Amino acid sequence: MSIAKVVEITSTSPGSFEDAIRKGIAKAQKTIDNVRGAWISEQKVILAEDGTIKHFRVDMKLTFILDD
């Protein structure tokens, strides 16, 4: 039987939501083993003073399996 745990993280990217997701997962995998999935709970943009998009931000929940 496997036991899973969920952690919430926020990641940003100046390029795209997809890039923010990929960077967030990659960074989390440096300290968390057995990451098996991600649920994107929210997407937001951070605007510059001139109204252009400065950063894409995602809030996500990562699921990982605990070691025996």
**What are the structural domains, with CATH classification, of the chain?**
4-65 (3.30.1660.10)
Q: What pLDDT, in 10s, does the model give residues 13-65?
A: 999 999 999 999 999 999 999 999 999 999 999 999 999 999 999 999 999 99
Write out the two tokens for 4.
Answer: 């899973």
Q: Do the Cβ atoms of 2 and 63 come closer than 8 Å? A: no
For the chain, give the longest Cα–Cα distance: 53
* Predicted local confidence at residue 42, as pLDDT: 98
Number of other residues whose CB lies within 10 A of the CB of residue 35: 15
Write out the two tokens for 40.
Answer: 């994107």
Residue 68 neighbours by CB under 8 Å, 6+ apart: none
Q: Write the DSSP symbol of residue 14.
A: S
Write out the two tokens for 9.
Answer: 């993280």
Query: Rounded to two decimals, what is the model's pTM?
Result: 0.89
